[in-house]
Amino acid sequence: MTVALVSIVLFSSLVIIHGSHFLGGTISWHPFHESATGSPVAIVITQTYSWTYSLITCTTADITTNELIHVGSYTYLTTQTLDCISNCYSGAAGYVPPSVRPRCTDISAPLGTTVGQRSDIVYLSASNDFTAAFQQNAWRPLATALSASWSIATHIKVQPRSDNGLYNSAPVATMMSPIEIPVNRPTAVTVPVGDADGDTTRCRWSTSSNGIDECGGVCPPHSLPPNAIIYPNCTIIITGQTVDNWFAVAIMVEDFISPTSTTPLSAVPVQFLVHVVNSPSCTTEPVIAGIPLEDSCTPITVGQTFHSMLIAINHCGASVTIVDISTLSFSGMIKGDLIEFNTSTYYKTLSWTPTSSQLGYQVMCAMALNSQNAQSAQYCFKFYVSQNNERLRQQPQQQPRQQRQQQQPRQQQQQQRQQPRQRQQQQLRQRRQQPRQRQQQLRQRQQQQLRQRQQQQPRQRQQQQLRQRQQQQPRQRQQQRNRIQSVGQYSAASLVLLLLGH
């Protein structure tokens, strides 16, 4: 009996030591050249993973110099790759699995997280159709499993689209981890998603079927509290019933060529942790504000430097402070130190210059954490990176009339899909210009009115000013005499006030 007990204790310790470093992540991909045709095709695969800060570390200097994460005792990360797990022989021709060890992008000691991201170019044959995954043991101890494996998998389908003949770009989605939810309160968690092709996107629970393992040992709904719901718009409703329970959430984001299509073009994973907590004594959560606005999309070109800041607002008084603005970003996004402006306002600066490997959508999220360990809601926004602030879709070479006529409906569909994005970008530019334009118009009107008054009433104004001076002079002389007579009755300070007319 004693031996059995010791074995159980040792096993539990082993799980805690070796199974608490992974906090979730996501994988996405897109063609390196948006207008690529032919074969092989250069595909950029981007992996983003979150880790326990005390076990897998980075420093601010590591982020600035784009260093690989420090693996500590998890040496498997130096050799493990993103391996093909389905249709690997005929469907993954040319695929050389990239490493899973990412480069440092974000750290938060108060939240206990390290985030890393890496992007690799692989050369795939046209018509490739396979699934690649990062699989390991194990998640931290969860409410549903003491030791659960993970499998975070993406479906890569390199085939020309039916609407424009170009290769598809998978959706981009991300989620901070862990997310804290109050006990016994239904909480909505929304996963931000962007799609460079403007496709319809839908979310579903990850599954393990037909030889494709998307979730390892945390496949929903068994890995979640009762009655957890996911909606196609990537909103999850979850209610934790016991304080300090941990749950792993595993979902897939799929893109479809039209709202009525049921055949996904690709699938990308999003996995993160949820922690059930008591409500803090100050029930008003901190709030994130800043520029870009929440849920906005900012167009930016390769080589263009972006500067901004994230602002955290504390509504709990001077006894509570903001201890961090935690972020989940991407390579090259430099965050400044947390600065206290006053007891209610804190901020971090942002600086980023996108590179050609970051073409398409980039999603960034932030979350404020206060001294009571209360989190703000996740604050996310997107960037769309291009070479010239527009979609890179090169015109095809001149073709016979019959082929051009066949392609016209596809081109019209493409233009129709691009118009909403172009209108959004135009509206964004117009909104940015409106305050400046209004100020210029106001100044022009004021100057015009002034010139008109000066031209119409110069003599009247001079005569009126002369009469006013003549009327004021006797009164001013008398007031001055009265002040001089009363100097001896006032101190120096009172004299100053008196001469100022107070």
Average pLDDT score over residue span 184-213 = 94
Q: Given pLDDT bands bounded at 50, 70 and 90, which one contains residue 399? A: very low
d(C-alpha 203, C-alpha 207), whole Å: 12
Report the DSSP pairing between strands 22-31 and 266-277: antiparallel
Q: pLDDT tens across 285-332, in order?
A: 999 987 889 889 999 999 999 999 999 999 999 999 999 999 999 999
In this prediction, residue 271 carries a pLDDT of 98
In this prediction, residue 44 carries a pLDDT of 94
Average pLDDT score over residue span 3-24 = 48
Domain CATH number, residue 267: 2.60.40.10
Task: Check pLDDT > 60 for residue 415.
Answer: no
471 falls within a domain: no
Kindly state whether residues 119 and 92 are assigned to the same domain.
Answer: yes
**Higher pLDDT, residue 36 or 494:** 36
6 falls within a domain: no
Kindly state whether residues 306 and 219 are assigned to the same domain.
Answer: no
Q: Among 210, 211, 325, 203, which residue's Cα sits nearest to residue 271?
A: 203
Task: Check pLDDT > 90 for residue 16.
Answer: no
Average pLDDT score over residue span 487-492 = 33
Tokens of 242: 């016991």
In this prediction, residue 28 carries a pLDDT of 97
Last residue in a domain, options 279, 306, 337: 279
479 falls within a domain: no
Task: Check pLDDT > 80 for residue 228.
Answer: yes
Tokens of 257: 């060529």
Q: Among 243, 281, 251, 285, which residue's Cα sits nearest to residue 267?
A: 251
d(C-alpha 94, C-alpha 233), whole Å: 34
Kindly state whether residues 334 and 233 are assigned to the same domain.
Answer: no
Kindly state whether residues 43 and 185 are assigned to the same domain.
Answer: yes
What's the distance, Cα to Cα, between the start and end of the chain in Å?
92
In this prediction, residue 448 carries a pLDDT of 67
459 falls within a domain: no
Q: What are phi and psi of 75, to 5 degrees?
A: -70, -15
Last residue in a domain, options 257, 279, 301: 279
Tokens of 96: 């050389």
450 falls within a domain: no
Average pLDDT score over residue span 416-440 = 55
Tally of structural domains, the chain: 2
Q: Given pLDDT bands bounded at 50, 70 and 90, which one contains residue 459? A: low
In this prediction, residue 167 carries a pLDDT of 93
Kindly state whether residues 235 and 328 are assigned to the same domain.
Answer: no
377 falls within a domain: yes
Last residue in a domain, options 244, 259, 279: 279
Q: What is the pTM of this model?
A: 0.73
Tokens of 494: 């009172």
DSSP 8-state class, residue 53: T
In this prediction, residue 485 carries a pLDDT of 38
Task: Check pLDDT > 60 for residue 272.
Answer: yes
444 falls within a domain: no
Kindly state whether residues 43 and 187 are assigned to the same domain.
Answer: yes
494 falls within a domain: no
159: Cβ–Cβ under 8 A, 6 or more apart, which residues? 126, 127, 128, 129, 167, 168
Kindly state whether residues 292 and 312 are assigned to the same domain.
Answer: yes
Task: Check pLDDT > 50 for residue 11.
Answer: no
**Position 146: which residue type?**
L
Kindly state whether residues 327 and 270 are assigned to the same domain.
Answer: no
Task: Check pLDDT > 50 for residue 1.
Answer: no
Residue written as token pair 């890393």: 116
Task: Check pLDDT > 50 for residue 102.
Answer: yes
Sign of the dihedral defined by the CA atoms of residues 223, 225, 230, 235, in that order: negative
Residue written as token pair 């749950």: 247
Q: Which long-range contacts (CB under 8 A, 24 or more apart) does 388-396 make?
A: 388/301, 389/299, 389/300, 389/301, 389/425, 390/422, 391/34, 391/196, 391/418, 391/421, 392/33, 392/34, 392/35, 392/359, 393/34, 393/35, 393/164, 393/166, 394/35
Q: Given pLDDT bands bounded at 50, 70 and 90, which one contains residue 387? A: confident
Kindly state whether residues 207 and 308 are assigned to the same domain.
Answer: no
In this prediction, residue 426 carries a pLDDT of 61
48: Cβ–Cβ under 8 A, 6 or more apart, which residues? 25, 26, 27, 102, 105, 115, 116, 117, 174, 328, 330
Q: Decide if 197 contacts 168 (C-beta within 8 A).
A: yes
Kindly state whether residues 286 and 273 are assigned to the same domain.
Answer: no
CA dihedral 50, 51, 53, 57 (to 10 degrees): -100
Average pLDDT of the residues of the chain: 81
Kindly state whether residues 259 and 287 are assigned to the same domain.
Answer: no
Q: Given pLDDT bands bounded at 50, 70 and 90, which one contains residue 15? A: very low
Kindly state whether residues 174 and 318 are assigned to the same domain.
Answer: no
Tokens of 451: 């010139």
In this prediction, residue 501 carries a pLDDT of 41
Q: Given pLDDT bands bounded at 50, 70 and 90, which one contains residue 439? A: low
Domain encompassing residue 289: 282-390
